[in-house]
A and B are shown apart, each in its own frame.
Chain A
């Protein structure tokens, strides 16, 4: 077991190292941050001084080694634009993004599961067919366009919801949270729905497929025979069993939700990590881009590591197979 975990840890470290080289190299090849930052009036000497102060005069391998050296000490570099630690900028924006992602997840589950169960129970009704057609739209319409359309409809034409920003926040344990105020809730609703659309469609499909499979199982028939109410059969016996695949998939997809929020955050001017990434790309703020991508890489590596370890605990055959290969 210990050998297995050590081996998986080494593999994970290697993945992170390779990714760091790819990410750093990729970002290094694009453009010149000084051209983005410096004022038009700056003369040549001024430009050179800035290049030097940012360490951009060094060859690629030196910059990379310096980056790795600092990263091993927990320093991911400082933003060129703000000159504050890149990781700190990302951490500052993290609550807003996670809040949005959780709200989207919540919407996807709360709306998606009932719709999916209904579509599974009555597959031939016209309502079910409408739901399923709707879920295709959710899969295929571009997020950016849907976001703009939502703003046009709900903010501009109907004037019901605010079009931009995060609204009032309250501080909980030192973190600003907006979903606890009414104003904040009204701000989060549209971007969360926008972000949720894709996952919502997925949840509907998973719940429907699960329901179709489960309703024909013996234990449902038995429950019916026992004379249990339909509400209890669906609410307890059916619901519990279709939730297993839904929870598994949503758990894995949470990382994707954080990553997908880039587009939604831009459209709704939501001050999260995604907007920071886009702003940083526009300004070629290399340290922030690299830190952000490395953070995402670490997130996925850690999730996968945990999953693998859990699997090996649950099913020893996984370990054995790995050892043979």
Chain B
């Protein structure tokens, strides 16, 4: 009898073990930890990627930043200023309650009125009036035609209006950020449920069985481990402690490619690495003569000089030697295939002879001196890229000093370190990822005339300015017709970069994820690491 019982127990234990083996769990080692699970607390890549597992969006980006309906089943424009969204019927929150238009409106209101937080979503909510038609039909009304409606909606996560918080002051609808971090208010309709967050260590998610929608659910349990140090992240994968990692350092890619235990997935990003040049000061602090003495003229104001500098940069060499082949030479703001790119622009070829001719034409046959400033811990191989550019320019008659510094020191100085809060440097290396997945985002922030009152050119550190570009952008931002808007954006790019060389694009980043053999990742252009984009090979 005893023996029999023992046998029975063993059988139970065995079956428990086999279900464990069958359960598909994944452990993902990621570089960055989110700052909160509150969907409106901080508009930041790691947050948006992580929280998107738990909360749904009306419409969402797939791995190539193409829009698909997530909570919304379909949408159309009723007239120039009214958009109609039909919600998917039968959607339930993780606590079992139904999702209706009221929850969507609640979410927008909380996002729009968010107090505190690190960076709000107001950019995407402002100017939109939400009107309930019925439980599953929503109208969004704008004052003027607004083509980026769907792109904006990919940023707003939808939470339950019944979620309860502990904030007694009533700000943010009485729900504070920590209520999301411990799971109290973390009630969404996304494909995964929030289980726990051990700060500094890991976030655990669990498959939501009631999920309805187009996002895949390949895993029963997902653990994100935060491993900031690069060698440690690679080692964790090789040791089998994690199944996948993001942000594989380029120096390790060649070695990992040969490793039979590892599979790599890499894909182009929406991030362009580029150079800003001082175009607003007549005497620029880091532009000198060839001996390092101050110049009373700023050659960077001349488009021909900017073009010449662009032609002195050997993009292929930088991609091959510095980036280990893992990047794509750039001639504009976004790679081919994205909305609003120009078919006329190619990366400038390396042509020192033509560059020298152009310099001479502009009256700088003798060249001048420059200093390039860049971060050393922000973009892939950023300091090495700055050094390569310094060498190329020096070799071609523009002696260039290279100064790099940590990003937390660099960005303040690059944006407003000079007198009156102007940019401090003359020639800087930066990167830009297009959050909207189309060309208006970089044109608006990097090339439109710097204008505080209009919110234009917020990151225009060279203060490039051309009324033609401003005008085309303004038209594009009010044109709902996709084909027409595409044309306007392409034209604005043609002028701002092709004619004016307002910035010098260098290359598009390529991001690499590594998994253990048998898994693969659909590389995301928005650089997010999402569990549902991993799958078995």
Contacts and interface: CB of A to CB of B under 8 A. Distances in A.
Interface of A: 30-32, 35-47, 49-50, 53, 80-84, 89, 92-93, 148, 151-152, 155-156, 159, 162-166, 266-269, 271-272, 275-276, 278-279, 281-284
Given A32-B411, A156-B239, A269-B228, A43 B118 contact: no
Contacts of B35: 81-82
Given A155-B239, A159-B240, 19 more contacts: A31-B412, A36-B408, A38-B118, A40-B435, A42-B119, A44-B455, A46-B123, A53-B116, A89-B199, A148-B231, A151-B239, A162-B239, A164-B236, A165-B202, A266-B228, A269-B225, A269-B228, A272-B200, A276-B200
Contacts, number: 155
B173 interface: no
Given A44-B458, A83-B117, A271-B201, A156 B408 contact: no
A271 B227 contact: no
Nearest to B178: A84
Interface bracket on B: 35 or more
Contacts of A30: 408-409
Interface of B: 29, 33, 35-36, 41-44, 115-120, 122-123, 177-178, 198-202, 225-229, 231-232, 235-236, 238-242, 377, 407-412, 415-416, 432-433, 435-436, 441, 445, 452, 455-456, 458-459
A211 B483 CA distance: 86
Contacts of B416: 32
B228 A279 contact: yes
A276 B199 CA distance: 9
B408 A267 contact: no
Contacts of B202: 165
B278 to A, nearest CB: 19
Contacts of A164: 29, 225, 227, 232, 235-236, 241-242
A80 B458 contact: no
Contact of B118 (A81, A163, A271, A272): A81
B454 to A, nearest CB: 8
Contacts of B43: 39, 41-42
A38 B200 CA distance: 21
A35 B436 CA distance: 20
Nearest to B44: A39
Contact of B458 (A43, A82, A162, A282): A43
15 contacts: A37-B44, A37-B118, A37-B119, A41-B436, A43-B458, A45-B455, A46-B119, A46-B123, A82-B35, A82-B177, A83-B116, A151-B235, A155-B241, A156-B238, A163-B241
Contacts of B229: 266-267, 269
A269 B233 CA distance: 9
B199 A93 contact: yes
Contacts of A89: 199
B239 to A, nearest CB: 4
Contacts of A162: 239, 241
B231 A165 contact: no
Contact of A50 (B118, B198, B441, B459): B118
B408 A282 contact: yes
